[in-house]
Structure formats: structure tokens, C-alpha cells
Chains A and B, each alone.
Chain A
Amino acid sequence: MKKVTFIHAADLHLDSPMAGLKHLPSAIFKVLQESTFTAFTTIVDAAIFHAVDFVILAGDLFDGEDRSIRAQTRFRKEMQRLAEKGIPVFAVHGNHDHMEGQWVHMPMPQNVHVFSHEVEVFKHTAENGTSVHLYGFSYPKRHVVERMIDQYTRKNGADLHIGILHGQFEGNSDHDQYAPFRLKDLLGKDFDYWALGHIHKRESLNQQPPIIYPGNIQGRNRKETGAKGCYLVELGSSSAKLEFMEASAVLWNEEQIDASNAKSYHDLYVLCKRMLEDKRQNRKGTILNLVLNNVSLPDHEMKGIITGELLESLQEDETEEEPFVWISNLTVNENRMWDKEKLAHESDFFSELFKTADQFAEDSGCTLALYAHPLARRYLGNLSEGEKHKIAGEAEELLVNLLYKNH
């Protein structure tokens, strides 16, 4: 039986900074800062443990402009560990760690094969005699929008064929269109496995042959939730066994709590605390985005939530906890006391107000002075239409709360 086992990982983003965290205690910050490295070490451990034939890294090994020397030295260290066990690594560079960058290129050990900027083929013969052709290319520059898939051509002379591609599955609009491809393009190549990279969410585009986005190996912000890791693949000419292996050192999660039964600040606190303890059962550090829905407390009870006291008291003990559950964000959705329609009908003023708010997104160019501030602009992205709508909605709610509430 001709078969090989290998690990397929992508989007390591080593030493990628974490975003969207305020007032993080240094202990947790350290763990988080190390998390991409920890996750990668875990993967290398797994490769050694399972004695795989090779490892595929499908692009974005480093985090772009922020590719630190530390990231490279650590990466090299892990590569050396694999070299000692005689496990080759097949890697491509993606849009984030393209080859044009200004960064220092470090020499890698002999077992690391990095594909050049044009599609090329490596031949690898496993210990059991199974030969594999690996196809891939590295991003020569940041933006590669050509349909690179067209350059992949099957070359006979091997038992198995694996395509490595860092690129965008057409039809997914979340990302810029890098090296786009369609499913039928891939299927048409008659390969045995497609090792994709670029999309951070784990996704299997096809069962046979497997076409896999393994996702990134460690969540880096609150949008990248859930378990992250790599795939351990046992590939034969007609069969493939895939096993997802979790590698992330810290979990990012979102949790919704229905607080309609909470009658007091304390009730709410207890509710949140209980949820924290549930989460702690993960046995992994967790960064939590907590949303409290249907909160309806008297104003004096709400005070503790608005001033951030609740968040603080929930965060308080986490520095010492092992594993920690850190609430990075607490969103409170209050039960609306008012009805927009009714209010508009009742009061001309409010109907006018709502009309103005609806138009805000379209003609508010100059009002948000901060976004035009010469210095601030450097650090703030432009607000999209959607964001503006959202801001307008929030402003509207704020206004009604200020004007309508009698007390």
C-alpha cells in the first residue's frame, strides 16, 4: 500500500501581535505573546511523535512587516528539531511573508524546502518507498492576484501528487483576492491532496481528493475564535485519513449570556462567574468576548456595569488562575425601554431625530474630526459605510436614552 503521512499547517503568523486587548496583566500578556510559538512547537512535537514523512506549511509563516528576527530564529530552531529527526519541510511564502520584504533572510537547515516564486515541483520519496510530487510557489510580492492555479501541471513519475497553494477560494469575499481559484480548477488537476493556506478559518472544500484550509494555528483576535491547529494526514492513492489536531495555546471565544433573569448586579455577577468557571474546564487559557443580552436592571444596579466595575471584578482574580479566562470585552445589551416606531409617532422631534440619524452615514464626512486628525489618521483605518451605520445606530440609541428616559 503506497501511502505517506504528513502534517499540513498554514498561516503560522509567528510572533504575530495580538489585538484588541486592554489592561492585560503581564502574566497573561506573556502567555499570549508566546502563544504562536507555543502552538508551532506543539505542531512540531506532533510531527516528531507521529514520525510523519514530511511537513507542509502553506504560507504566511510570518506576520508580514512585523517579521521579527525572533520569529525567524525560533522558526529555524523548530526546523532544526525536525532536521534532527530527518523530517523534511515543504513551505511556501504567502502574502504576509512574501519574498520582496525588507526583512533579514535567515539560512534554514537542509530539510527545509521553500518553493520559489514560480510554480515548481519537488520530489520526495518516503521511507516506505512511496514517492510524492509536491507542487507550489511562493509570493514574490505582497499582491499576487493572478490565477496562479493555471500554472500548476501534473508531472508524472510519482505515486502521489500534492498541491500547495496559498490563495483565495473564489466566492469568499472576506479577504482580498489573492491567487484566486475555483473548486473545479483544483479538481481538474487530478491531484491527491490540496494543501491550502490563507484563510484563517478551518474549512474543508472537498472530501475526495481532500482540499483543505487548515486555518491558522493560533487565534490572534476576537474574530478568530475556537480551537486552532493543523491536520495530520495519512494519504494513499485512493484514500485519505484526516485528523485535526488542536495546537493553539490560548483560545479565543465569544459567549452570549441571557441575563433576563438577573434581578440585581449581584445576580449578574454570579451568572458571569459561573460561566467563567465553565470555560475554565477547557484546560487552556481563554480570552473571552462576553455579551450580556436582555439586561434589565434598575439604574442604580446598572451603574456598576456601566462604570466597568463588573468587568474589573470579573478580571480581578484571573491573573492567578490557571488556566485563566480573561474577559477582553464586555458588551451589555439592555432591554430597550422604548419603541422607535411609537416614539416617532408620538413626537415630531424624535421622528426628525431618527430621520437625521438614518442619513448620518451618507453625509457625515466632516463631523468625525478625529478620523481626519493628521496624526490620529495614521493609526485609524477609514470607517466603512457599514461601520458608519453602526455608529449612527449606537448614537441614536444613546440620544434616545439621554432624552427619553425620565429619570
Chain B
Amino acid sequence: MKITDIHIYGYGKLTDFSLTDIQSLQVIYGENEAGKSTIMSFIHSILFGFPTKIQSDLRYEPKEGAKYGGRLTATFPDKGNAVIERVKGKASGDVSVLLEDGTRGGEELLSELLHHIDKSMFQSIFSFNIHGLQNVNQVKGEDLGRYLFSAGSLGTDKLVTAEMVLQKELESRFKPNGKKPTLNVKLKELKQLHYELKKAEQQNEQYFTLLCEKEKLEKDIERLHQDLMYSQKELSRIKEWQELSPFMSEEQKLKKEREQYAEVSFPAKGMAVLEKIENLMDPLKGRKASLEARISGIEIDLKKNQPDYEILRSEPLIHAALEGLPLLDKLKQEESELSIKIGNLSEEILNLQERLHFQIEESQLKQIDTSVFMKDKINHAQKRQNSLHTKKQELDERFNEEKSDLEAIEQKIAELKKQLLTEAERSAIKAELNRSADRHMLEKEWQDTQDRLLFLQKAEEKERKNKEEKRYQEKRQLLVFGILFAALFGWGLWSQTWILAFAGLFGTAFCVFMAIKKQPQTNAGFIQEEIKALAKKESLLLEKLKQPDNQFASNLEAKLQRDSQLQNQLRHYHFQLEQSTEKYEKVITAFEKWEKESADLEEELLHFGRQLLLPADISKAHLGEAFGLIEQLKSLFREKKYATERKVAAEKAKNERLHILHQLKGLLDDEPGNVQEIAYQLKKKLKEEMENHIKLCEREAKLNELKVEYSTVLAELNHYEKEYEEQLALAGTETADEYRKKALAAEKLADLDEQIKQITKQINMYTFSQEEIDRYSNLNAPEIAIQARTEEINKLQGKIPSLQSELAEVKYELHLLEEGGTYAELLHKFVLLKAEFEEEAREWAKYAAAKDILEKTISTFKNERMPKMLKQAEEFLSSLTKGNYVRIFPKEEGSGFLIESRTGAVFEAKELSQATAEQIYVSFRLALALTIYGKYPFPIIIDDSFVNFDHLRTERMISLLRNLPGRQVLFFTCHKHLLPYFQEEQIQSVSKEKLSVQL
């Protein structure tokens, strides 16, 4: 790559600055602050981007607002010429690249052109300055090493970083003797787990031992259980025996006692049977005696009391007479009451007959029709009579009304006729009215004429004014022209131009003439004539109007109107009169009709009166009332007849009752007085006899009863006596005493039997077999046997729990082994962890391999490249020092280099002179750029170095630079004395003028 042109648009202090035709070896000279550093920075910035704000480098943004950026033209060996332009844009600027073949591109294309090298790399390899030279003795082997690997897209610090990262990763995973790294931790866990697993595995082998143990234990426990059960049974048996033995001896005793009574024979329950029979016989004997006494008592009573049978036979008659007594009283009372009532009724009948004012027989009365039908007819006739009466009153009123109306209307008509106008008067008034209508027309015409007159007068006025105005204007114009023409004339005279003078004179004259000329009078005459005609017409009309005016025209009209109204009214009253007359006629007709109806009614009433046997006057006026009284009378008669009948019946019944009573009186012993007494005596006597009769019957029944009972008692007594005898015979005894003794002996025997039975029952409850009984009978001291057994049981019981817990343990262990418990758990865990460990180990291996590969690569690189570079550096150094120093080699230990002189002496860099050290540095740098970075054809940029060189060394240095093959060198300097070493075209100055070469 060779830079050929630079064009700075604006960068730092440089604005629109160009360097053209840059040579392969180009010196750029400038005094201090001329802008050399700026140009260098510019080249870097164009190629690698403007420094961003976060970077420490200066941005060189122009202060005066010129366009930031610029353009650089360079030739690339494979791509030809390329123009690279970078201007302000995003942080590092916007770049555009234009290749020779027209290809355009941005950062990517540029990066490709620059072989992906970055700025820091570029600076560290291809660009160096005085500070680097002066610090040459601090250059370390590692630094060089680093330069060795910094190539292409590989950044300078990347290797170190990468190595560190790998180391860290490895160490975090595994250290051969570490404890913390994950793999170490896992390994430890794994080891522990493995150990535990092995242990668990061994337990598996115990499985069968455990199985045998289990079986044995189970058998032992079984046996113990059996022993225990036997002992327990035995113990309880002995205890039972202990309880049983007293019963056994008791039994023996009882059996012995029984033997005494062995021969006693006695009927079963004989004593009880005997006593029972005796008990039954005693009360029977008592009863027999009492019955006999009672029978004789009753027989005596019967003979004493016999009743009176006659009275008893007439019992019904007496009862009837007694019951009739209250009725008798009642009949007497009724009789007297009815007599009073009949008297009252007779009086009332008389009263009514008086009111009717005529005598009437009862037989006649019965024939009179007082049916409801008759009553209805009479009521109806009465009502009609009433309504006819009312109707007559109404008709009287109407008649009076109609009559007065008629009279009023007739009077009014007479009045109106007086007021009306005659026909002649009416026609006169009408003629007068026609005349007053014409006058209105005249008034209107006069008004019109006046209006027109006024209008014409105004028009005339206006016309006149217009004309005056016009004339005034014309006059002014003429005056102006006149003056002009006068002037013209004057001029003509003065200048002796006659034509002009004449023209002016003529014009003036014309103007004067025009001004003087009168205005013709035209249409004003016509208007005035018109006015005159109108004035005349007006006066004519006025005169007409002034003719005498009829002032009463309106009065007349009113009069006429009133008259026609009156006529209308009159017509109306005539109509009313007709109507009234008609109504009056109608009332009179109604009167006639009423009279006829009245006569009919009277006839009818008389007819009813005859039927009721009433005199005519009563039937005409009070028919209804009379009918009511007759009706009442009729009912009274009927009532009186009924009362008389009842009185007769009551008398008859009373007499019958009295007769019976007197008949019964004969039965009584003593002579009673009145009826009441007789009745009482009868009643008393009857009651006594009845009671006597009842008592007699009762006694007879009782006697029979007692007799029957007596015979029963006798029979029973016989039966028991027989049984008693039998019982005694059965026991083989003669007497009751003997019998009783024998009974006592039998009782004792039964008692013994019962006791023996009880004991045997209790003995049987213990279910001891005969064999056992024999066995235990020999046992002398059961207490001792019990104690021995109890001890044995305790011993056995103590053994079982321990065996059982042992068995449980064995079972649990077996279960654990069968379920896999710890072993399977551990196994699964172990395998998992192992797999995990393997995987992580693989991961570790990746990092380890990476580190290994990196280290190997670096070492290969070092071992192969370094010598090549050092050889080149030695050549340069030798050439620069004219063969004084011939070899450079890295120190065996530590950092830095050693330099060998021609004589074979070996120096460190710091032991050499400043200039020599600088030469070594330059040699290194150039060697580095040319060998390791030979692939990258970038220009070498040197900033003001070689100041410490003397002229010989300078010359050599420059010749070295000049002879670098295929490599552009840009040399910036501020030292004028260096310039002569170069050709003129190789020097460009940054200041305004190009400096000439001065030798």
C-alpha cells in the first residue's frame, strides 16, 4: 500500500490542505506546531476511524467549523488505486471507499483492504517515534513476543487474555491438590460414595445369614410360646383344684349322714296335703250352722207381713184421677176467661155498628163480599177519584195563563201599528239619500287636480335651475378660450405673424359671440300652459263643492232603518198571536173531557156502595173507609162465636173429672172432705200397699237361695272327710299325730339330698376328669406347686420380648436389603454422580486441551518466527553500526535482549550509548515490520527520530530507509539539517512555501 495523495478538508488546525504526489520515501518537514502530528493523526484517522470521545486520543475536530475529515488516495498492490474518504458522521466518522474498478464500499471494504488490522496494531508495528527509541532498554522479550503474534484480526492483548481466561476456567474446575474446585469436590464426594457403596454391598452378603437367623428366632419364639401356654394352663388347673377340694370333703360328710334315713317312706308332700284338707273342712262347717239359723228367721217374717190386694187392683184408676187434678183447675180458669172475652167482643161490635151508623144483622154481614178482589176494586176507584180532582186544578191554572198571554200580545200589536211610517213618507226619504252620494266623487277629483298642479310647478322650477348652470359653464369655457385666442393674437402682432394674429382674433371674436348669444326658450311654455289649465279646473270643482250641502242625510238614513225594524217586529207579534190562540183552544177541550170522566167515576162508586149495603151518601164520599169497618166487624163476629164454643167444651170436661173422684172416695177408710184431701189420702194408701208387696217378694227369693246353698255345703263336707281318711291310710298311720312325726323324718331326708345335689353341681362346674381328680388328690401342698409354676411362667415371659425384638431387627434388616434401601439408593446416586463427574471432566478436558494447543502454538510461533526476525534485526543493526554490532539474542532468563559486538563482547541495551540503543530499536522495528508483518504492505511512519545520530549514522539510516524494498516510508521531521540527505522531490513542507534543498 502506498499513499499517494492526502486532502484534508478540515482536521485540527489544517483546513483544505493537500499533499500530492507522495513518494515511496517521503519526508514531511515542518517547524514546531506546523501540523506534522496532525497529518500523522489524520492518516490514522482516515484509515481506522476518528478517535471516539471515550478514547484518549485527540479528536482534532476543526475549531473554525470547517468540514471535519478528508480524503486519502492510496495504491494497493492487489486492488490498484483507491480513494478513501472519511467525513463526520457516526462516532468514528462515515467512510466511503472508491476502488479503481468502480467498486464502492464502506468500513467493511476498507477493513478488507487493510487486512483487518486494527489501529493499535498498526501503530505498534508500523509507526514509531522518539519515545519508543528512547525507551529501547525497557523493551522486553514478552513485548516482542506479543508483537510476534499480533497479526491480522488477532488483537494484541487477546492472547494474554485468552490464556488467563483458560487458566481461570481450568482452576475453577480442577487443581491436582485443590479442595474447592468443582471437580475436586465431586471427586471427594464420589470417593466417599464409592466407599459407602462397597460397604452396603457387603451387607448384601449377610442376607442369607439373616434369613437363617430369622427362621431360628421364629422357631424359638414358637417353642417358648407353647411352653408358656402349658404352664399357664397347669397353674390355673392347680388353682382351681385348690378351690374345689373343700367341696369334695363336704360331699363325703353329707353322704354319710344320709345313710341314717335310708328306710323312711312317706308320700311326697303328704303333710301339706293333709293340712290343706283340714283347712278346707273348717270353714265349711261354720257356714253350715249359719245357714240353718238364717232360713228359720226368714220363714217367720213371711208369715207376719201380708199386703191389701184391693187397693193394689184399683191402682190404675187412682193414678188417672190423680193426674186429672191439675187439668181440672185449668178448665175452671179457662171457663171464666172465655166469659170475659165474650163480653168484650159484644161491646166492640156495638161500637163499630155505631161508627157505621147503621144497624146490620150478623146474617147480612156474612153475605157482604169482603174479598181481596173487592178491596182492590174499591181502592182503584178511590185513586181515580183523587187523580181527577188533581187534574181539575191543573186545568184551571192553564186556562188562566193562556188567557192573559193572549191579551198581552194583542195589546202590543196595537202599539206597533201606531208607530209605523206611512208609505209616502218612506219614498220621500229615499230620494233625499240618492243625492248625497254624488258629492263624494267631486271631492276626489278636486284633490287629484291639486296634486298634479303641485307636481308641474316643481318640474318647472328644476328645469330652470339646470339651464342656468349650463349657461354658466359655457361662459367660463368661452372666457378661457377667449383669453387664449387673445394671447395668440397678441403674439401674432408682436411676432408679426399675421396668420396667427388673424386666427387669434377670429377665435376671440367667436368666443365673445358665443358668450353673448341668448339661450333659446323651449319646453318651459308647455308646462306653464298645463298649469294654467289645471288651475282653472280646480276653481271649477271648488265651486261645485261649495253648493248647499244636505246636513240631514245621515238622519234620514237612520229613520228609514228604524222603520223597517219596526215592520219586522210587527210581523213577529202576529205570528205569536196565532200560536197563543191555538193553545187556548186546547185547554177548553181538556175541560170537557174531565167532566165526562168525573161522571163515570161517580156511577161506579154508587154501584160499589149498593154491593156493600151502604147508603148512597156514604158510598160516594167514604167508600174505602166504610169497607174497612165492615171488614173489621165481620172478623169480630167470627171471634165471638169461637169463644162461646170453647167455653161450653171446658164446662163439660170439668164435670167428668169430678165424678170419678167421688167414686174412688169409697175406698178410703176415714171420710175425707174436699177433693184435694181425697186425692192425697188415695195416693198415700196406694204407696204403702205397693211397698208391702215388694218386700214379700224379696223375702221369698232369699229363702230359696239359702236352701240351695245349704245342700251344697253338705255335699262338699262329705267329700273332704272321705279324703282325710284316705290320706291317713296312705302313710300307714292311724292318727294324725303319728302322721305328723313321720312327715318330719321325710323332710330331713329331702334336705340332705338337696345339699348333696348342690355340692355335686359345683364340683361338676370345675370339669375335672376322674383321672385328674385322682392325680390332684395326691397333691399334698398345692401352694408350693403354684409358686413353682408361677416362677416358671415369669421366666418364659421374660425371654419372649427380647427374642421378638431380635426378630424384628432381623426382619427390618432383611426388608432393607430386599427393598434395596441404602444399597440401591447409593448405587443410583453413585452412578449419577459418576456420570456427572465424567461429563464435567470432559468439559475440563476441553479447556485443558485449549490451553495446551494455545501454548504449543505460541511456542512454535516463537521458536520459528523469532529467530527469523532477530536475524533481520541483526542485519539492520550491523549495517547501521557499520558492523560494530553483529548479534541480538534474547536473554536466557528474565526479559530483554543481549547485543554482541563485533569483538564478541556482550552488552545489555542499557549499557550502550543512547544512539546505539536507538539504532537497535529501529532495527527491531523495521525487522518486525519486514519479516513477521511482511504480508502487510503498510507504509512505515516515523516521527522525528534519529536526532541523536551523528551525520554518519544519519546517512546510513537514511540509506537504509531508502533501500527498503516495496515499502513506503513517511518521515516526519522538524529538523532542517536532515533535509539535505534527501532529494528535493522527496521533501514536502507543511508551511506555506516548499523549502528548497540546502546542502
Binding site for B on A (CB under 8 A): 15, 17-22, 24, 29, 33, 66, 68-71, 73, 102-104, 221, 343, 346-350, 352-353, 356-357, 360, 364, 367-371, 373, 375-376, 378-381, 383, 387, 391-392, 394-396, 398-399, 402-404, 406
Q: Are A350 and B850 in contact (CB under 8 A)?
A: no
With A69-B817, A347-B153, A347-B154 as contacts: A369 and B848 at CB distance below 8 Å: yes
In the bound complex, residues from chain A placing their C-beta under 8 Å from that of B176 are 369, 373
- Picked from A20, A102, A392, the residue with its CB within 8 Å of the CB of B839 is A20
Q: Are A381 and B154 in contact (CB under 8 A)?
A: no
In the bound complex, residues from chain B placing their C-beta under 8 Å from that of A33 are 824, 828
The CA of A406 and the CA of B111, in the complex, are separated in Å by 13
In the bound complex, residues from chain A placing their C-beta under 8 Å from that of B839 are 20, 22
Q: Are B860 and A352 in contact (CB under 8 A)?
A: yes
Q: Is B366 close to A, CB under 8 A?
A: no
The CA of A42 and the CA of B442, in the complex, are separated in Å by 144
Q: Are B827 and A66 in contact (CB under 8 A)?
A: yes
Q: Is B266 close to A, CB under 8 A?
A: no
Q: Are A356 and B849 in contact (CB under 8 A)?
A: no
The CA of A394 and the CA of B841, in the complex, are separated in Å by 14
Which of B201-209, B518-526, B661-669 contacts the other chain?
B201-209
The CA of A19 and the CA of B829, in the complex, are separated in Å by 9
A-B pairs with beta carbons under 8 A, tally: 170
With A348-B151, A350-B154, A406-B155 as contacts: A395 and B115 at CB distance below 8 Å: no
For A383, give the chain B residue with the smallest CB separation. B845
In the bound complex, residues from chain B placing their C-beta under 8 Å from that of A73 are 818-819
Q: Is B330 close to A, CB under 8 A?
A: no
**19 more A-B residue pairs beyond the given contacts A70-B818, A370-B841, A380-B841, with a C-beta to C-beta distance below 8 A:** A17-B830, A18-B832, A21-B832, A33-B828, A66-B827, A68-B204, A70-B817, A70-B824, A71-B820, A71-B824, A347-B154, A350-B152, A356-B856, A367-B849, A391-B846, A392-B853, A399-B162, A399-B850, A402-B162
Q: Are A375 and B151 in contact (CB under 8 A)?
A: no
Q: Are B835 and A395 in contact (CB under 8 A)?
A: no
Q: How far is the CB of B52 from chain A (nearest CB, A)?
A: 15
Q: Are B857 and A352 in contact (CB under 8 A)?
A: yes
Chain B residues bordering chain A, tally (CB within 8 A): 60
A-B contact pairs, 29 of them (CB 8 A): A17-B827, A29-B828, A68-B824, A69-B817, A102-B205, A104-B207, A104-B208, A346-B115, A346-B153, A348-B151, A348-B152, A349-B857, A356-B853, A364-B849, A367-B852, A369-B174, A370-B183, A370-B844, A370-B845, A375-B191, A378-B194, A379-B190, A379-B838, A394-B846, A394-B849, A395-B846, A398-B847, A402-B850, A406-B153
Q: Is B328 close to A, CB under 8 A?
A: no
The CA of A367 and the CA of B851, in the complex, are separated in Å by 9
Q: Is B276 close to A, CB under 8 A?
A: no
In the bound complex, residues from chain A placing their C-beta under 8 Å from that of B166 are 402
Dominant SS at the B interface?
A: helix
Q: Is B149 close to A, CB under 8 A?
A: yes
The CA of A369 and the CA of B845, in the complex, are separated in Å by 9
Q: How far is the CB of B465 from chain A (nearest CB, A)?
A: 103
**Complex A-B, nearest 8 residue pairs according to Cβ-Cβ distance, in ascending order:** A70-B820, A17-B831, A347-B152, A395-B850, A395-B849, A19-B835, A402-B162, A73-B818
For A37, give the chain B residue with the smallest CB separation. B820
In the bound complex, residues from chain B placing their C-beta under 8 Å from that of A371 are 841, 845
The CA of A356 and the CA of B860, in the complex, are separated in Å by 9
For B814, give the chain A residue with the smallest CB separation. A69
Binding site for A on B (CB under 8 A): 115-116, 149, 151-155, 158-159, 161-162, 165-166, 174, 176, 183, 187, 190-191, 194, 204-205, 207-208, 817-821, 823-824, 827-828, 830-832, 834-839, 841-842, 844-850, 852-854, 856-857, 860-861, 935
The CA of A387 and the CA of B818, in the complex, are separated in Å by 40
Q: Are A391 and B845 in contact (CB under 8 A)?
A: yes
In the bound complex, residues from chain B placing their C-beta under 8 Å from that of A104 are 204-205, 207-208
In the bound complex, residues from chain A placing their C-beta under 8 Å from that of B190 are 379
In the bound complex, residues from chain A placing their C-beta under 8 Å from that of B850 are 395-396, 398-399, 402
- Picked from B821, B830, B842, B857, the residue with its CB within 8 Å of the CB of A353 is B857
With A70-B818, A370-B174, A402-B161 as contacts: A22 and B836 at CB distance below 8 Å: yes
Q: How far is the CB of A86 from chain B (nearest CB, A)?
A: 25
Q: How far is the CB of B552 from chain A (nearest CB, A)?
A: 124
In the bound complex, residues from chain A placing their C-beta under 8 Å from that of B207 are 69, 104
Q: Are B828 and A17 in contact (CB under 8 A)?
A: yes
The CA of A221 and the CA of B832, in the complex, are separated in Å by 11
Q: Are A396 and B154 in contact (CB under 8 A)?
A: no
The CA of A102 and the CA of B827, in the complex, are separated in Å by 16
Q: Are B848 and A19 in contact (CB under 8 A)?
A: no
The CA of A24 and the CA of B836, in the complex, are separated in Å by 11
Q: Are B832 and A69 in contact (CB under 8 A)?
A: no
- Picked from A17, A347, A375, the residue with its CB within 8 Å of the CB of B832 is A17
The CA of A353 and the CA of B854, in the complex, are separated in Å by 7
For A398, give the chain B residue with the smallest CB separation. B850
- Picked from A18, A349, A391, A395, the residue with its CB within 8 Å of the CB of B831 is A18
The CA of A66 and the CA of B826, in the complex, are separated in Å by 11
In the bound complex, residues from chain B placing their C-beta under 8 Å from that of A29 are 828
Q: Which of A24, A33, A343 has the most CB of B within 10 A?
A: A33
The CA of A227 and the CA of B849, in the complex, are separated in Å by 38
The CA of A104 and the CA of B837, in the complex, are separated in Å by 30
The CA of A403 and the CA of B154, in the complex, are separated in Å by 6
With A347-B153, A376-B841 as contacts: A360 and B852 at CB distance below 8 Å: yes
Q: Are B204 and A24 in contact (CB under 8 A)?
A: no
For A71, give the chain B residue with the smallest CB separation. B820
Q: Are A368 and B845 in contact (CB under 8 A)?
A: yes
- Picked from A24, A348, A375, A395, the residue with its CB within 8 Å of the CB of B847 is A395
Q: Are A103 and B846 in contact (CB under 8 A)?
A: no
Q: Are A69 and B823 in contact (CB under 8 A)?
A: yes
Q: How far is the CB of B523 from chain A (nearest CB, A)?
A: 108
In the bound complex, residues from chain A placing their C-beta under 8 Å from that of B159 are 403
With A356-B853, A379-B834 as contacts: A403 and B162 at CB distance below 8 Å: yes
Q: Are B154 and A349 in contact (CB under 8 A)?
A: yes
- Picked from B116, B161, B194, the residue with its CB within 8 Å of the CB of A346 is B116
In the bound complex, residues from chain A placing their C-beta under 8 Å from that of B174 are 369-370
Q: How far is the CB of A381 from chain B (nearest CB, A)?
A: 7
In the bound complex, residues from chain B placing their C-beta under 8 Å from that of A352 are 857, 860-861
The CA of A20 and the CA of B207, in the complex, are separated in Å by 31
In the bound complex, residues from chain B placing their C-beta under 8 Å from that of A68 are 204, 820, 823-824, 827
The CA of A357 and the CA of B174, in the complex, are separated in Å by 22
The CA of A221 and the CA of B187, in the complex, are separated in Å by 22
For A402, give the chain B residue with the smallest CB separation. B162
The CA of A369 and the CA of B207, in the complex, are separated in Å by 42
For B843, give the chain A residue with the smallest CB separation. A394
In the bound complex, residues from chain B placing their C-beta under 8 Å from that of A378 are 194
In the bound complex, residues from chain B placing their C-beta under 8 Å from that of A360 are 849, 852-853
For A387, give the chain B residue with the smallest CB separation. B842
In the bound complex, residues from chain B placing their C-beta under 8 Å from that of A343 are 153
Q: Are B205 and A392 in contact (CB under 8 A)?
A: no
Q: Are B853 and A15 in contact (CB under 8 A)?
A: no
For B208, give the chain A residue with the smallest CB separation. A104
In the bound complex, residues from chain B placing their C-beta under 8 Å from that of A349 are 149, 151-152, 154, 857, 861
With A22-B836, A379-B190 as contacts: A69 and B820 at CB distance below 8 Å: yes
Q: Are B824 and A15 in contact (CB under 8 A)?
A: yes
Q: How far is the CB of A349 from chain B (nearest CB, A)?
A: 5
The CA of A252 and the CA of B979, in the complex, are separated in Å by 82
Q: Are B838 and A395 in contact (CB under 8 A)?
A: no
In the bound complex, residues from chain A placing their C-beta under 8 Å from that of B165 are 402
Q: Are A403 and B852 in contact (CB under 8 A)?
A: no
The CA of A73 and the CA of B842, in the complex, are separated in Å by 38
In the bound complex, residues from chain B placing their C-beta under 8 Å from that of A24 are 832
For A405, give the chain B residue with the smallest CB separation. B158
The CA of A399 and the CA of B151, in the complex, are separated in Å by 16
In the bound complex, residues from chain A placing their C-beta under 8 Å from that of B828 are 17-18, 29, 33
With A33-B824, A368-B848, A402-B161 as contacts: A19 and B153 at CB distance below 8 Å: no
The CA of A392 and the CA of B850, in the complex, are separated in Å by 7
The CA of A347 and the CA of B933, in the complex, are separated in Å by 10
